[in-house]
Amino acid sequence: MKKYIIIVIILLNFSNVYGQNGIHSKITTLTGSSVFFPFNSYTKLYEGMEAGYTNWTRFRILYFDTIAGGGLDGSSHWELMVRANTGNIVGDGSVSPMTLDKVELLVTYTNDVGLTVTTPYTITGTDTQIIGNGTNPTGTTVGATVGPNTEVQVSYRVGRNGAPPAANTLLGEASGYYFVDLVFTLRKE
């Protein structure tokens, strides 16, 4: 009897072994984990700020989507989303907030494919895809399952959407400190 019970226990342990498929995604900030724009001259306010913020933030992307029994799912794709975690750019203290459209992103994507996204993304309060499979604004198909060498660079510009003074100029905004958190999400598309 004791022998049968031991056999049952062993069999039960075997039942806990799975051959599963799943997704592993990891986004790592390499540089530029925060960004700050000091508008301290009329020229900066008039022209906006962009110079010096090229490829300011660099992310390393790791994404694996496996199939049952092992191997990578070639049909699986990832996407990188961005959003602000508040509905506007919050003014510190009693300073009135600014609209999110003051901030724009330019994204460069480097892997075997290589992609430079030249269309600036305006930040909103909802997730916006900045890199995806065939749906990015350039129309280039990217986002295939990639390994640890994929890197995404993000450039920033503020108050610079068009010829100065731009449509989203900061001229006329009240003095003060403003802040917003940008949330980048890596996930299966």
Asked if 136 is part of the footprint of another protein (rule: CB under 8 A), the reply reads: no
Q: Is residue 157 part of the contact set for another protein (CB under 8 A)? A: no
Q: How far apart are CB 56 and another protein at their closest, in Å?
A: 9
Q: Which of 99, 138, 162, 179 binds another protein (CB under 8 A)?
A: 179
For residue 108 the two structure tokens come to 């460069």
Q: CA-to-CA distance for 178 and 47, rounded, in angstroms?
A: 19
Nearest by Cα to 53 from 29, 28, 30, 36: 36
Nearest-Å Rg of the Cα atoms of the chain is 23
CA distance 87 to 180: 9
Q: Which residues of 28-44 are buried (b: 16+ CB within 10 A; e: fewer)?
A: eeeebeeeebebeeeeb
Residue 51 sits in the site that holds another protein (CB under 8 A): no
C-beta closer to another protein: residue 28 or 119:
28
C-beta atoms surrounding 64 within 10 Å: 17
38 touches another protein by CB under 8 A:
yes
The one among 12, 94, 126, 163 contacting another protein by CB under 8 A: 12
The reply to whether 29 sits near another protein by the rule CB under 8 A is yes
Figure out which of the listed residues 3, 14, 19, 40 binds another protein, where binding follows CB under 8 A: 40
Q: Footprint of another protein on this chain (CB under 8 A)?
A: 1-2, 5, 8-9, 12, 16, 20, 22-29, 32-42, 45-46, 57, 59, 85, 89, 98, 102-103, 154, 156, 158, 165, 170-188
